[in-house]
């Protein structure tokens, strides 16, 4: 993934320590997606992906932080959302990305689903140290 020429135009940080804060994050992401002129379907996809990952951060990461960036690449606009937690980490990322796999009580759709709903998806995790997940959606021109 080539990030050459990508400029971060703005940054908002949101703490994720309760399910109320997941709702707050959804609203912030929705407002920014509207402000950047994303289509309704793309807004909905990105907000849904944000909600899935925020819940993972809360449930499996023991809480953490989300950072929302507005990206500019020439005339192209995008939104990037990065989730950071210092939880137990994911021992097998490939397995965690498979639909239906969960170490908790959910449906196991969160990670794989969030990846499908966005244009770019990156995940780094170290067992015992934490997980960082980043999703990006570019506005269609």
Partner 1 sequence: MDRIPILRMGDCLIVAIQVDMHDRLAIALQDDLTARIVKDKAKGVLIDISALDIVDSFIGRMISNTAAMATVLDAQTVVVGMQPSVAITLVELGLTLTGVRTALDVERGMALLKQRQR
Helix (H, G, I), strand (E, B) or coil at 12: strand
- By CB under 8 A, name the one of 13, 19, 92, 126 that touches partner 1: 19
Instruction: Give the Cα separation of 83 and 65 in Å (integer).
Output: 6
- Exactly one of 15, 91, 104, 106 binds partner 1 (CB under 8 A); that residue is 106
Of the candidate spans 73-81, 84-92, 104-112, 127-135, the one that interacts with partner 1 by CB under 8 A turns out to be 104-112
Compute CA 5 distance to the chain's CA centroid, rounded to the nearest angstrom.
22
Q: Return d(Cα 14, Cα 17) in angstroms, integer.
A: 10
Give yes or no for residue 110 binding partner 1 (CB under 8 A). Answer: yes
112 lines the binding site for partner 1 (CB under 8 A): yes
Phi, psi of 103 (to 5 degrees): -95, -5
Choices 2-10, 74-82, 86-94, 105-113; region in contact with partner 1 by CB under 8 A: 105-113
Residue 109 binds partner 1 (CB under 8 A): yes
Q: How far is the CB of 109 from partner 1 (least distance, A)?
A: 5
C-alpha 141/C-alpha 11 separation (Å) is 23
């Amino acid at each position: 993934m080539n990030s050459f020429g990508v400029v971060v135009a703005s940054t908002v940080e949101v703490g994720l320590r309760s399910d109320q804060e997941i709702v707050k994050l959804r609203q912030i992401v929705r407002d920014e997606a509207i402000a950047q002129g994303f289509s309704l379907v793309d807004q909905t996809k990105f907000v849904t992906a944000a909600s899935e990952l925020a819940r993972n951060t809360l449930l499996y990461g023991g809480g953490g932080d989300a950072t929302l960036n507005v990206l500019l690449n020439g005339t192209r606009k995008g939104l990037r959302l990065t989730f950071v937690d210092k939880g137990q980490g994911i021992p097998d990322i490939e397995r965690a990305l498979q639909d239906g796999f969960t170490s908790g009580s959910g449906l196991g759709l969160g990670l794989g689903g969030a990846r499908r709903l966005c244009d770019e998806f990156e995940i780094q995790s170290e067992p015992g140290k934490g997980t960082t997940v980043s999703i990006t959606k570019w506005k269609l021109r």
